Amino acid sequence: MTKNKMHVLLSGIIALTLLWKGLYFYHMAYTVGAILIGILLGYFIRYKSIYIEKSLNHLVLLVGVGLYFATVFYAVDFGMAFMGALKVLVVYLFYLVITQIKHQHAKALFMDTVIVCCVIMAFLGILAFYIPFLGDYFIQNGRLGSVLQYPNTFGLLIIVGILFLVSKDRLNQGSMVGLVLMWTGLFLTFSRSIFMISIGTMVVYVLYDRRRVRSILWPCLLGMGLGYGVMYNSGLSHMIGRIEATSPTVSEWTTRLLYYQDSLAIIEDYPLGTGHLGFFYLQRLYQTGATYFVKYSHSQIIQIGLDIGIIGMALVGIYFIMNMFGKRLAFHEKLAILVIFGHGAMDFDWEFPAVLMVLMMIVYVDQDKIRKLPVSRGLGYILPIGAVMVYMYMGISTYCAYMGLEEAAIYLYPYDTEAKAALARAYEVKDEDRAYDLAQEILRQNPYHLAGHRIMRDLHNRNGELEEALTSARKMVELNPLGVFHLEIYSDLLLLQLKEQLTLKHPEKAYDTIRELLEIPYYLERLAKERLTSYNVKHKPNLSMSEKLLKNQQETEQILDILLVE
């Protein structure tokens, strides 16, 4: 295959990564991973070796990926940690592929592909406000997320696309139309952070190069005007209030501050990281101030610390400093890096591998540091073929989970905890034994999984196994202390146990249970002092005695009075 054909092929893969939901879901990333390995194998077959970049950038990426695989041995959930490591590896494989190409003119072609994809995403997004079936897919709560289905990350990519397009020396009419469409798409995200970053970025770029005023200002004004028209015609005029609410005391922002605060507490206890999705499983145990439940910490810098520890956070810092203060990149490229890292510091953009691939394209490789790496023929064939088989196998398994075929998913990969949890919930009513076995398997692999404990508690309770139900209920309260609903169930079970103990004439055990029941209001009082904050946050829990808890408390006191009289 000629170099030009290879460039076209890789441009197609770049378009696939951006337009296929940014490879957010596992099976999407694994599919592209298998394709990239196939390309690397093709290079090896042709040249009998591969090229690597002998640089600090390469070392940082290599160590980072290695740390993700290392977490498999100590992660909160090793099965999910392995799945996450395979997903991260895809970005490194993409970096290796562009290292083989290495020519700077290919970088321009790849970034042009990114720009075209951004225009396509924006155009389809605008159409989605008028075509219902597109709207169901591209619009989330009145906000444009386009093919990524997440407005903030879509907006981030649009900013990068705009920045690279306005950096060109000459813009034709088609380019100006593309800029207008991208500004329109950016407006329709209704994202406060994206608005502020886009305006700040363009102001900085104009201050650096005043020649860019025309290519930035007029498309921006036209795009914003078009976006306002789409908003008004779609009956979303109320969304403008979301943009205007940019105060640092807005509940959404202060709730995110809680994510960060609680995440740092987890990192303090797990300095080597918790593995992929470790935060997802531990957050209820550490959360303060609000009963949130999110998959990621909404700060990619902190998320990396959660995943692979403080070493991972240091690697991020090194990579950023090396490329921001080096002399190899142009000003607009450094500005794009600053945007990606800046927004990544307050959102989970990098969970979309496509965003990191765009970062790899911006940084690219230093041609002066490319070296040939001799590889034995046996290893050169066995390693990539084996890796392709792993990616294809895991791709099939995760695709089954994505399509709701959890039985097939866990048959292929028994350590997919989330597929197993979904299956256990489905079996909870129709096949209790199967649901119980699945819950046990989940908790053997991940003792912090709330769904596993909840299913065990409810099944034991349903079958009259009070001691076992109480054991699971205590664990639920321990792992989710701000969930007063679980404390209510625990109180109900304690009251049942108390009545059973009285029936069986076990007064000593009954007094122990009474003490545990009467301790609940003091427990809530201590919890409120330790966990509640004065922040204006969403989902602030009411850590006081609920109606159910008060009723159980009164009944317990009545029973105690009777016992004392006797």
pLDDT in tens, 214-223: 888 999 999 9
- φ, ψ of residue 351 to 5 degrees: the values are -70, -10
Q: Across residues 68-93, what is the average pLDDT?
A: 98
pLDDT in tens, 261-319: 999 999 999 999 999 999 999 999 999 877 788 999 999 999 999 999 999 999 999 99
- Pull the structure tokens for residue 390: 């792993």
The CA distance from 457 to 261, in Å, is 31
- 489-493 CB contacts, 8 Å cutoff, 24+ apart: 489/457, 491/517, 491/520, 491/548, 491/549, 491/552, 492/548, 492/552, 493/461, 493/466, 493/469
pLDDT greater than 60 at residue 327: yes
DSSP 140: E
The CA angle 187-192-194, to the nearest 5 degrees, is 65
Average pLDDT, whole number, for the chain? 92
pLDDT greater than 90 at residue 408: yes
Q: What pLDDT does 542 receive?
A: 82
Q: What pLDDT does 245 receive?
A: 58
State percent of the chain over pLDDT 90: 75
Bridge partners (DSSP) listed for residue 51: 372
- Pull the structure tokens for residue 550: 């008060």
pLDDT in tens, 3-23: 777 888 899 999 999 999 999
- Highest-confidence segment of 81-95, 197-211, 539-553: 81-95
Cβ atoms of 439 and 431 closer than 8 Å: no
- Pull the structure tokens for residue 545: 């005695």
CB atoms closer than 10 angstroms to residue 269: 10
Cβ atoms of 433 and 463 closer than 8 Å: no
pLDDT greater than 70 at residue 555: yes
pLDDT greater than 60 at residue 551: yes
pLDDT in tens, 420-471: 999 999 999 899 999 999 999 999 999 999 999 999 999 999 999 999 999 9
pTM of the entire predicted model: 0.94
Cβ atoms of 186 and 223 closer than 8 Å: yes
Helix (H, G, I), strand (E, B) or coil at 366: coil
377 or 385, higher pLDDT:
385
Q: How confident is the model at residue 238 (pLDDT cuts 50, 70, 90)?
A: confident
The CA distance from 304 to 549, in Å, is 40
Q: What is the DSSP string of 466-515?
A: HHHHHHHHHHHHHH-TT-HHHHHHHHHHHHHHHHHHHHTT-HHHHHHHHH
Q: What pLDDT does 292 receive?
A: 82
The CA distance from 538 to 555, in Å, is 34
pLDDT greater than 90 at residue 244: no
Q: What pLDDT does 242 receive?
A: 64
Q: What pLDDT does 237 receive?
A: 75
CB atoms closer than 10 angstroms to residue 465: 14
Q: How far is CA 311 from CA 146, 236, 281, 308, 431, in A?
A: 35, 45, 21, 7, 45
Q: How confident is the model at residue 251 (pLDDT cuts 50, 70, 90)?
A: low
- Pull the structure tokens for residue 274: 């918790």
DSSP 189: T
- Pull the structure tokens for residue 238: 């109320």
Range name among 15-29, 204-218, 413-427 with the lowest pLDDT average: 204-218
Question: Residue type at 172?
Answer: N
Q: Which ranges of 234-352 would DSSP assign to H, the alpha helix? A: 240-244, 251-269, 278-286, 300-325, 331-344
The CA distance from 204 to 566, in Å, is 81
